[in-house]
Amino acid sequence: MSAPNIETIVSLAKRRGFVFPSSEIYGGLGSAWDYGPLGVEICNNVKQAWWRWMVHERDDMEGIDSSIILNRLVWKYSGHEDTFSDPLVDCRECNARLRADKLNLTEKGKEELIVAGHHELADLPETERTLKTWALNIKDGRLKCPNCGSTNLTEPRSFNLMFRTTIGAVADEDDPTALAYLRPETAQGIFINFANVLTTMRRKIPFGIAQIGKSFRNEVTPGNFIFRTREFEQMEMEYFVRPGEDERVHQEWIDYCFNWFITLGINASNLRFYEQPKEELAHYAKRTVDIHYRFFPEREEDERQWDELMGIANRTDFDLKAHSKKPEDAEGKRINPDSTEDLSYFDEATKERYYPYVIEPAAGVNRTVLAVLMDAYSERTNDKGEKRVILKLHPSLAPIKAAVLPLAKNKPEIVGMAKAIKRSLQPTMRAVYDDTGGIGKLYARQDEIGTPFCITVDHQSLEDEAVTVRDRDTWEQERVKVADLQQHLLARLQPAVRSEQGV
Ligand code: GAP
pLDDT for 501 equals 44
Consecutive H or E run containing 104? strand 104-105
Pocket-testing residue among 22, 234, 287, 308, ligand 1, by greatest number of atoms within 8 A of Cβ: 234
Which residue lies with its CA nearest to atom 18 of ligand 1?
364
pLDDT tier for residue 500 given thresholds of 50, 70 and 90: very low
How much is the pLDDT for 124?
Answer: 74
Nearest CA to ligand 1 atom 22: 228
Give 296 Cα–ligand 1 centroid separation in angstroms: 18
* Residue 4 backbone dihedrals phi, psi, to 5 degrees: -70, -20
CA of 365 to the centre of ligand 1 (A): 9
- Rounded mean pLDDT of 378-385? 93
Q: Tell me what pLDDT residue 1 has.
A: 85
Q: By three-state DSSP, how is residue 401 classified?
A: coil
Residue 131: pLDDT band with limits 50, 70, 90: confident
Out of 78, 308, 312, 370, mutate this one to test ligand 1's pocket (max ligand atoms within 8 Å of CB): namely: 308
**Ligand 1 center to 388 CA (angstroms):** 34
Say how many Å lie between the CA of residue 366 and the centre of ligand 1: 10
How confident is the model at residue 117, as a pLDDT?
A: 60
CA 245 to centroid of ligand 1, rounded, Å:
26
Q: According to the model, what pLDDT value does residue 497 have?
A: 44
Looking at per-residue confidence, does 119 or 452 come out higher? 452
pTM score, whole prediction: 0.92
Residue 266 CA to residue 389 CA, distance in Å, equals: 18
Nearest CA to ligand 1 atom 19: 364
User: CA 437 to CA 453: how far, in whole Å?
Assistant: 17
Q: Residue 499: what pLDDT? A: 45
Count Cβ atoms within 10 A of the Cβ of residue 20 and give its class: 0-12 exposed, 13-18 middle, 19 or more buried. middle
Over residues 455-499, the pLDDT tens digits come to 999 999 999 999 999 999 999 999 999 999 999 999 999 754 444
Cα–Cα–Cα angle for 206, 208, 212, rounded to 5 degrees: 175
How many angstroms does the Cα of residue 400 sit away from the middle of ligand 1? 28
**Higher local confidence (pLDDT), 328 or 123:** 328
Whether 417 contacts 461, CB under 8 Å: yes
Rounded to the nearest integer, the mean pLDDT of the chain is 94
Cα angle for residues 442, 446, 447 (degrees, 5° grid): 115
Q: State residue 165's pLDDT score.
A: 94
- In ligand 1, which atom is closest to the CA atom of 313? 2
Mean pLDDT over residues 273-288, rounded?
A: 94
Q: Ligand 1 centre from 367 Cα, in Å?
A: 9
pLDDT of residue 304: 95
pLDDT of residue 330: 85
Burial 70-94 (b: 16+ CB within 10 A, else e): bebebbebbbbbebbbbbbbbbeee
Report the pocket of ligand 1 as residue ranges, CB < 6 Å. 185, 187, 217, 219, 228-229, 232, 234, 236, 308-311, 360, 362-364, 366-367
Q: Which of 327, 339, 279, 234 is nearest to 118 (CA)?
A: 279
Among protein residues, the one whose CA lies closest to atom 12 of ligand 1? 364
CA of 53 to the centre of ligand 1 (A): 20
* Phi, psi dihedrals of residue 141, rounded to the nearest 5°: 70, 35
Q: Is the peptide bond before 452 cis (omega within 30 degrees of 0)?
A: no
Mean pLDDT in residue range 342-350: 95
Radius of gyration of the CA atoms of the chain, in A? 26
* Closest-lying ligand 1 atom to the alpha carbon of residue 184: 4
Read off the pLDDT of residues 416-456 as tens digits, 9 standing for 90 and up: 999 999 999 999 999 999 999 999 999 999 999 999 999 99
Beta carbons within 8 Å of 420's beta carbon, 6+ residues apart = none
The pLDDT tens digits for 91-104 are 999 999 898 988 99
For residue 288, the model assigns a pLDDT of 98
Q: For residue 276, how many other CB atoms are within 10 A of its CB? A: 16
- Using CA atoms, how far apart are residues 58 and 61, in angstroms rounded to an integer? 6
Instruction: Give the model's confidence band at 406: pLDDT under 50 very low, under 70 low, under 90 confident, else very high.
Output: very high
Give CA–CA dist 70/67, Å, rounded.
6
- Distance between CA atoms of 473 and 394, rounded to whole angstroms? 11
Residue nearest to atom 21 of ligand 1 (CA): 228
DSSP 416-438: HHHHHHHHHHTTTS-EEE--SS-
pLDDT at 115 over 80: no
Best of 35, 70, 232 for a ligand 1 pocket test (most atoms within 8 Å of beta carbon): 232
Model pLDDT for residues 395-405, shown as the tens digit of each residue: 999 999 999 99
pLDDT at 6 over 90: yes
Q: Which of 131 and 312 is assigned the larger pLDDT? A: 312
